[in-house]
Structure 1
Amino acid sequence: MSAKTGSKAVVIQGNQACVEGALLAGCSFFAGYPITPATEVAEVMAERMPKVGGVFVQMEDELASINAVVGAAWGGNKAMTATSGPGYSLMQEGIGYAAITETPCVIIDVMRGGPSTGQPTMTSQQDVYQAKYGSHGDYEPIVLVPSSAQEALDMTIRAFNLSEKYLVPVSVLTDEVVGHTRERVVIPDAPEVYNRVAPPAGEPYLPFKGIEALGGVPYRADFGQGYNICVDGQLHDERGMRVGHLIEPSAALVRRVMAKITDNADDIADYELYHTDDAEIIVCAYGSTSRVALRSVLDARKAGIKAGLIKLKTLFPFPDAMIRAVASKASRIIVPECNAGKICNEVQRVVRQDVESMPKLGGAMHIPSEILDAIKRS
């Protein structure tokens, strides 16, 4: 046992940590299709899920996987799938369906180099825009980005809690480095778990009516509980009946589904700040890249350079206010990421300075000296 009462310390991969987190959160259904570098999630789920009374199904492809997860969630399960870039692409229509039907579910995306089949065994952070804009139409997803095996466990638990609280699909974007790195992970005995809120007994129930006390989120009854519920991907009214041909109720639904996330962004957004109080140079990073960036910032501090780090743990909703406040005191902002420069654009959107993009492609990570050299450049 670890020093923390009711917990144990183990050495496991990030992919295994996602499984442990899911089980602790109450996941009882997993559907997926094996794909490198996410395969270990399915492998461990196949072993563990029957032992806890849950269901594991290997589907024929990723389209079937996400649709099985949606169906299982409406059947009363906490449901999850796992994939990598190409499979995540195939899931996007199903993720959009989950968004508009307000279906709680979790998608683990262990990112690899792309586009297309790309680099199955190499790392990247190239799916960050797909996580935000992958499905058509207007919706607001929640996207978490672990940087370690411990955070993979913690954020998978949080992903389930957020999905249940806001009735929304939540993506956890790890990458090949996080997924395959073995590290010490503390597994809590009984973490805080949130469950969807059932409608009050004996009261009329509208399955898609936002409840003010729940932050604009509806009550949620599952199939088989005696309610007549229509779940349709076409825009619908509070009863679930199609209104896609009507302007006002269609617009009202989309506005509410987006507002339940944007209006609660302060509750959802998560980040860590290192030495930003007096920082003149800010590095903003996420996922595995943030580990390298922290080392670079600490080395810069040792050299007498006032550098600081914003470590993003939630990409979407993006923490606009925090970024703006921290950046207001700095002269430079550097954003290293393992893609062509995507989150750099999000940072640039909310600050006054020109943001310095530091992209890395080809499947390799930054090394500390590269980011330190960028910090030292005047």
Structure 2
Amino acid sequence: MTESASPSGRRKDDHLRLAHDQQTAPVARTDFDDVQILHHALDGLDADRVRLDVEVLEWTWRAPVYINGMTGGTDRTARVNRALAIAARETGIPMASGSVGIALDDPSTAPGFRVIREENPDGFVMANLGIGRSAEEARRAVGLLEADALQVHLNAVQETVMPEGTRDFSSWPRALEAVVAAAPVPVLVKEVGFGLSRRTLTRLHDMGVQLADVSGVGGTDFARIEDARRPGEDYSFLAGHGQSAVCSLLDAPDPSPTLLASGGVRTPLDVVKALALGARAAGVAGAFLKPAYSGDAEEATAVIRGWLSQLTELLALFGADDPAALTRTDLLLRGRVREFCELTGLDAAGYARRDRPDTEPVTDPTTQAAPPSRPRTRT
């Protein structure tokens, strides 16, 4: 494996550098800022009672947070993957690789991915592959990392802006169905930062997909990254396109795959908000890339340990003894998120009354009817 030895390798290094540059820019406002947890001053718990472990399909994860797929395939990206894999091993949280397609096409780049399993032999590892690959390639991707699950990413917006990207998306549904049917491990379908709509989640459920990461706008912006790789920035108008993780979670259908959330998860409080909106766990990329960018495993480990400690303290503050209890947390939805709810027929106000017992004699003064204990959503 050599540093940027091929066009694909140079693209991987470009992606890593540009993603890191986005993380060093001033922190942008996201839809997580339009979700406010209603404070109840006497609801707190003893932090020693709080458990962070969470059930995801048939697995038990150490905490409701994981290192999301980022990179791999060059010497530079291998150093980042090594640091992140050590941090995952030391903290016990799951980790996903970046897309291993480059390693399937050029086996000399495989060590940049294999390092994840080598440094974390007993941990929960997800391989990552772009949609459109064959069922056989999906099996090879899983074997490369001895993976526990396979992420398949949907990235039509990125492909549109990418100079060397595809413009034919018509075969993607059939290809995904074939991978889901043939993969030796559960398949997790994720976006790359543009959100999974209600319609898309319904289609994924109908295909038999068990797990989906809504991966919304607000985090690493691959439209901006690919635009920066083009002369003239011809597609700058697509920056910010898509739905946030917050809006994707709010609009998720029932039934749907088990939901994970990523995209703009900047702090442990954002993780808490994602869990309160129905995500089983939250994926973090950019915030963990910053300490790992130089290959410093100790710093990356310290950052993740800090997140887990703060998550425990936040759950105690909000009266949740485990992550699942956060789904009863009262939320105030404001700004763009409230507008999204109004335009799509979702009951934003209902989220402010989720923890009110059905028998509590509180009425709406305009209707004299007891408000719902759970938010009503459109059908």
Higher strand share: 1
Give the structure, 1 or 2, with the largest relative contact order (CA under 8 Å, sep 6 or more): 2
Higher helix share: 2
